[in-house]
Chain A
Amino acid sequence: MSEREAPAAGAGRGPYRVVLLSAGTGNPSSTRLLGDRVAQKALDLLREEGAPATVNVVELGPLAVDVARATVSGIKSADLQGAIERLAAADGVIAATPVYKAGISGLFKSFVDLLDNDLLVAKPILLAATAGSARHALVVDEQMRPLFAYMRALSLPTSVFATPEDWGATELGERIERAAAELAALLRAGVGGEIADRNWSAHQHEFGGNATRAERTGADVDFDSDLMRLATGGSLPPADPDAP
């Protein structure tokens, strides 16, 4: 198990760790370009506010074979495991995917499928997508938003969507600025870390998982639970007679 760093929880600290997760595959990739623009804007805003931040990029293209192998075998390569740990240690995430065949990239979804259910709990996440046509504009809200709702992440109100005609338009810059400002504000408020700290025990976890707050030793485990009492020779509490 590698050394893990906890996110820089709490308000007014830093440097904030932002991870840009990009499922773009071209070189250059318009998805990566969009992600870079959003990330740069967020960094600029944070710097103006005296809050340093770093951006770490996770490119999924080079991990595609590892993602596929892990999907069928359950075994993650060292590179894939490293990407998951970087994501776990992030204070905020920018998630960017291309739209293929009217949906998010299969690679992007397959990668998210490999994440621990609690890996992104309360992490601010900025949703971004690129597509060949404006007709796909709702993919972000109809596919990415429910996916990260399941992950209990804190999706920002503004998502960013770009098609070829947007690259020359000032409106894209304005939307990027709006979304980046939301990300910067949430990071500075430390709200993600605070929610995760307060509610961690209310979520389901797996022992030895990848989340930075995951249980890894006896000191992390709650032994005062119905199941732990049953494990030590106790009985389950009586069934609720009104239960269906």
Chain B
Amino acid sequence: MYLLSLPYTRNEDSEARSEMQFGIFSVSDITRNAVTGETPSEAERIQASVQLARRADEVGLDVFAIGEHHNPPFFSSSPTTLLAAIAAQTERIVLSTSVTLITTNDPVKIAEDYAMLQHLSGGRVDLMLGRGNTGPVYPWFGRDIREGLPLALENYNLLHRLWREDVVDWEGHYRSPLQGFTAIPRPLDDVPPFVWHGAIRTPEIAEQAAYYGNGYFANNILAPNFHFKPLVNLYRERFAYHGHGTPEQAIVGLGGQAFIAKTSQEAVSTFRPYFEGSPLYGASYSLEDFKRGTPLSVGSPQEVIEKTLTFQEGFGDYQRQLWLVDHAGLPLEMALEQVELLGTEVVPVLRREMESRRAPEVPDAPTHAGLVKARYGDEEPRQPTPNPNRGDNLTGASPYQDVEPEVTASYPELV
């Protein structure tokens, strides 16, 4: 039963940890190693990502997030399956996504899959929602990219209700209506997984995150330094407008890229052939320009620390920092070493530094334990237990046993 007890053990020994989360995220690309000329197989990359997550857990990183894709050369079409396997092999790390496609997935299936993962991981799960950047995925799943934005907004509105209401009646534009529908299992402790909304250009997504008091994540890669600041600021401003706190208390996450070695020179000379040989980077940028002009850090632990501290200065206090480390065709051993250096040399210093600079009223990063505490205080969390099967939720009251006894259904009388 170690899984179920985990959120509480994590809470107890979290005293020594700072309340900001640091971790790694991956888009699950399978990229040729430009130095050896070899490309890993899907099988190798899938196993490698499990190893990276395990190492991240071992060295004390807080978050491992994986993307979702439905075409080669990527492997992660089924993030909850991968994350469930990782959950079973790790102890403390929070599992997340970067991103879960809120456009082409059915929000009902997202509600079910991630609630299931939340139970199996002992509450060590949250998710980041995004629209996806691969046009053909929409028609493959019967959707139209031109309607991507309203589709994302409507789907999240439904997902939000499915995790908070035992029985949902719903009708919208993009999905068949629901009558008396219950998404099972109900979330762990009846507290939904925390949701981050990822967006790089759309004010409507920032507004949706702000309206619900959810998190907002800017991937903060492949764009000039502080390119995402106007959107982050818009989200903060609207978070306050919708009554969730001050702009400074909004829940912000940022991405970044890092390649770390003992010295600056070693980092640059080791990383350069991968950068220059990568179809994503090398054809379009010089390493020096990219390092100077974008959030990529290539250097000693101290340089990575200094660059990351500029994020806090520029975007304000934030709750989650994720780095992309398994990119550009880096071999597994090298990516594992990056995780190790982050966990042992970079993050401990950043925890201290960022904590010391953080304004006192800024909230901690959301965790299941924290959300349970916020909802129940010292009370026992609700444990939804169903009534016997009656075939539907349309007749009678709640399908769960703990419904208020005075709430009863009235049945039509047959004369």
Let me know if A227 is at the binding interface, CB within 8 A.
yes
A232 at the interface (CB under 8 A from B): yes
Minimum CB–CB distance for A118 against chain B, Å: 14
Q: A75-B223, A208-B230, A218-B237 are in contact. Are A239 and B204 (CB under 8 A)?
A: no
Query: Shortest Cβ distance from A101 into chain B, in angstroms?
Result: 25
Q: A73 near B: Cβ within 8 Å?
A: yes
A217 touching B233 by the CB < 8 A rule?
Answer: yes
Q: How far does the alpha carbon of A235 sit from the alpha carbon of B284 in the complex, in Å?
A: 42
Question: Considering only CB atoms, which chain A residue lies closest to B223 in the complex?
Answer: A75
**Can you report 17 residue pairs joining A to B where beta carbons are below 8 Å apart?**
A69-B284, A73-B285, A75-B285, A77-B289, A78-B293, A207-B201, A207-B202, A207-B203, A215-B203, A221-B203, A227-B153, A227-B204, A230-B204, A232-B208, A233-B160, A235-B173, A236-B150
B246 to chain A, nearest CB (A): 14
**Main SS class of interface, A:** loop
Q: How far is the CA of A98 from the CA of B91 in the complex (A)?
A: 65
Q: Size band of the B side of the interface? A: 35 or more
- List chain A residues, Cβ under 8 A from B283: 72
Report whether A236 and B237 are in contact in the complex, using a CB–CB cutoff of 8 Å: no
Name the A residues within 8 Å of B207 (CB-CB).
221, 223, 228, 231-232
Contact residues, B347-390 vs A (CB, 8 A): none
Total chain A interface residues with beta-carbon distance under 8 A: 28
Q: Which of B270-304 contact A (CB under 8 A)?
A: 283-285, 289-290, 293-294
Residues in B lying within 8 Å of A, measured CB to CB? 149-150, 153-154, 157, 160, 172-173, 201-205, 207-208, 211-212, 222-224, 227, 229-231, 233-234, 237-238, 241-242, 283-285, 289-290, 293-294
Q: A218-B238, A230-B150, A232-B211 are in contact. Are A75 and B201 (CB under 8 A)?
A: no
Q: Which residue of A lies closest to B240 (CB)?
A: A218
Contacting residues, chain A, for B230 (C-beta < 8 A): 1, 207-208, 216-217
Q: From residue A175, how far is it (CB to closest CB) to chain B in Å?
A: 41
Say yes or no: A233 contacts B157, CB within 8 Å: yes
Given the complex, which residues of B lie within 8 Å of A239, measured CB to CB? 173
User: In the complex, A72 Cα to B153 Cα: how many Å?
Assistant: 30
CA distance A109 to B172 in the complex (A): 43
Interface residues in A61-120 (C-beta closer than 8 Å to B): 69, 72-78
Give A78 to B160 CA distance when docked, in angstroms: 42
- Is B172 within 8 A of A235, CB to CB? yes
Instruction: Taking A75-B284, A217-B234, A221-B203 as given, write out 19 further A-B residue pairs in contact, using a Cβ cutoff of 8 Å, ordered by the A residue number.
Output: A72-B284, A73-B222, A77-B293, A207-B230, A207-B234, A208-B231, A216-B230, A217-B230, A217-B237, A218-B234, A218-B237, A223-B207, A230-B150, A231-B153, A231-B205, A232-B211, A232-B242, A233-B160, A235-B154
Docked complex Cα distance between A170 and B229 (Å): 54
Task: Report A-chain residues with C-beta under 8 Å of the C-beta of B205.
Answer: 231
Number of A-B contacts (CB under 8 A): 82
Separation in Å of the A220 CB from the closest CB of chain B?
A: 9
> B227 — which chain A residues lie within 8 A by C-beta?
208
Residues on the A chain within 8 Å of B149, using CB: 227
CB nearest to B284 among chain A residues? A73
Which of A73, A226, A239 has the most C-beta atoms of chain B within 10 angstroms of its own C-beta? A73
Q: Give the distance to chain B from A203, nearest Cβ to Cβ, in Å.
A: 16
Q: Which of A76, A78, A232 has the most CB of B within 10 A?
A: A232
Closest A residue, CB atoms, query B229: A1
Beta-carbon contacts of A203-244 to B below 8 Å, as 1s and 0s? 000111000000111100101001110111101100100000
4 nearest CB pairs, A to B: A73-B284, A231-B208, A208-B230, A232-B211
Alpha-carbon distance A216/B284, docked complex (angstroms): 28
B208, B229, B230 — most chain A CB neighbours (10 Å)? B230
Residue of B204, B238, B294 contacting most chain A CB atoms (<10 Å): B204
Pick the contact of B201: A78, A206, A236 (CB < 8 A): A206
Nearest CB of chain B from residue A72's CB, rounded to whole Å: 5
How many Å lie between the Cα of A8 and that of B283 in the bound state? 41
| Cβ distance B256 to chain A, nearest Cβ, rounded Å | 15
Given the interface pairs A208-B230, A208-B231, A233-B211, the reply to whether A75 lies near B154 with Cβ below 8 Å is no
Assembled-state Cα–Cα distance A216/B233 (Å)? 9
Residue on B with the closest CB to A223?
Answer: B207
CB distance from B213 to the nearest CB of A (A): 12
